[in-house]
Each structure stands twice: as C-alpha cells, then as structure tokens.
Structure 1
Amino acid sequence: MAKEKFDRSKPHVNVGTIGHIDHGKTTLTAALTKVSAERGWGKFVSY
C-alpha cells in the first residue's frame, strides 16, 4: 500500500522547548501560535 507523497510547498518551522516543569513552556508555545495565527501564518490552538 503506497503512501501519499508529502507536500513540501508550505513553509514550516519546528520549535523545541526545554526547561524545568512549571516554567512556562506551554504558555510560550500558545503565545507563539496565537501571534502566528493573528499574522495569518498558522492556526491558533488553545492549550
């Protein structure tokens, strides 16, 4: 069973966060996705 070819026409960014528990990694990620969505670069997902 063949898989579909991956469409690489859209720009993308992978962001990794490291840090101690309860130091705001999820909040930072949510803020980045919200700003990205407001600028029309992505879709906001509430955490």
Structure 2
Amino acid sequence: MITGAAQMDGAILVVSGADGPMPQTKEHLLLAKQVGVPHIVVFLNKKDQVDDEELLELVDMEIRETLTAYEFPGDDIPI
C-alpha cells in the first residue's frame, strides 16, 4: 500500500463484520494518514456471518471511533 499511496485520492478499508477492527486495521489507517490519503470508505466484509444486529452496530461504532482516533471523519465516512 505504501508505494502507491502517495498518488491515491482515496482508499477502501475492508473490515470483518465478524471480527471488527483488528490491529492491522489501525496500522492501515495510520499509514494512510501518514502518506496523505484524503478519503476513506469502509467495506464491512463477512456481514452475512453475523446474525446479531446489535453486534454489527457495535462493530460499526468501533470502526467509527477508530477512524476518528486517526483524524478521519468517522461519523461521516460511509460503511
């Protein structure tokens, strides 16, 4: 991701709906911020494997909090 990121206008962050943000998710956000990726959208993968709607809401909240912690507009980013 690093070598081509300087030319990117945006990135798609893939997060498992079953697991939520993992340690490498935070690393990817940090790297995106460091190389100046201005826009991020989030794709929630494996959502079909989660039967509990409340769990998906918690994952959504955790993703948004993580985005905000890395100075991305967590409340405004599409998931």
TM-score (norm 2): 0.36
What runs of 5+ residues in structure 2 fail to find an aligned partner? 1-7, 14-42
Structure whose CA Rg is larger:
1
* Structure 2 equivalent of residue 28 of structure 1: 59
Question: In proportion to residue count, which structure has more helix?
Answer: 2
Question: In proportion to residue count, which structure has more strand?
Answer: 2
Moved more, 28-37 or 12-21: 12-21
Distance in 2 separating the partners of 1:25 and 1:32: 10
TM-score (norm 1): 0.50
> What is the letter of the counterpart of residue 25 of structure 1?
L
Runs ≥4 in structure 1, deviation > 6 angstroms? none
Aligned length: 37
> What is the letter of the counterpart of residue 68 of structure 2?
A
Q: Which has the higher contact order (CA 8 A, sep 6+)?
A: 2
Q: How is 1:1-47 mapped onto 2 (pairs within 5 angstroms)? A: 9-13=9-13, 14-16=43-45, 17-18=47-48, 19-40=50-71, 42-45=72-75
